[in-house]
Amino acid sequence: MPSSALNSLRDLLIEQTRDLHNAETQYRGILPTMLESATDEELRKELTDAIELTDANISWLEHACTHLNVEPTGVTCEAMRGLIREARETVAKYGDPYVIDAALIANAQRVAHYQIAGYGTARQFAKVIGEDRVADIFGDLVRLAGNVDQRLSKVATGGWFARGVNQRAETV
């Protein structure tokens, strides 16, 4: 399929928005399998929440596409394809449940970091071209992705009174 022309920042924002929509759709597809593989209750809760959040993210990206007058489909996010491949490799492994949980957290945090970078960049593009509503959508999405990353870090590292998944995986 021929590449789309990138002649303006608006063209780039549109491409990035459609790419991020595809990324979220791909991530939504693997989340139930990741949830099924997780054993830690806090991690299971975060992955369950991630399913709902990803559904909402897809909807918000569709709203952004509506504001930009484009269809959200038609672009494949190759970066997310690689992250999903890594997550599939994790869920196919067997071994200590805490180590598998630590690997699942690593997979989910890589996705969150991708989201933070993608949404943050798209927000800046939208601001520059005066698409304030789209910029607001991306601002909300980057904030939510940051919150997910922080919660996953807490599951991994624990808190004042509880060991995290990483510490439990190390005591194997």
At 78-88, the pLDDT tens digits run 999 999 999 99
Model confidence at 129, in pLDDT bands (50, 70, 90)? very high
Asked if residue 73 is part of any domain, the answer here is yes
* Burial class of residue 99 (count of CB atoms within 10 Å of its CB; 0-12, 13-18, 19+): middle
Count of domains in the chain?
1
At 157 the pLDDT is 83
Asked if residue 1 is part of any domain, the answer here is no
Asked if residue 4 is part of any domain, the answer here is no
Domain that holds residue 52: 9-170
pTM summary value: 0.90
At 60 the pLDDT is 98
What is the CATH classification number for the domain harbouring 67? 1.20.1260.10
Average pLDDT, the chain: 91
Asked if residue 154 is part of any domain, the answer here is yes
At 22-75, the pLDDT tens digits run 999 999 999 999 999 999 999 999 999 999 999 999 999 999 999 999 999 989
Burial string for 122-160 (b: 16+ CB within 10 Å, else e) reads bbebbeeeebeebbebbbebbebbbebbebbeebbeeee
Asked if residue 160 is part of any domain, the answer here is yes
Task: Determine what percent of the chain is predicted with pLDDT higher than 70.
Answer: 90
Asked if residue 3 is part of any domain, the answer here is no
Model confidence at 98, in pLDDT bands (50, 70, 90)? confident
Asked if residue 157 is part of any domain, the answer here is yes
At 83 the pLDDT is 97
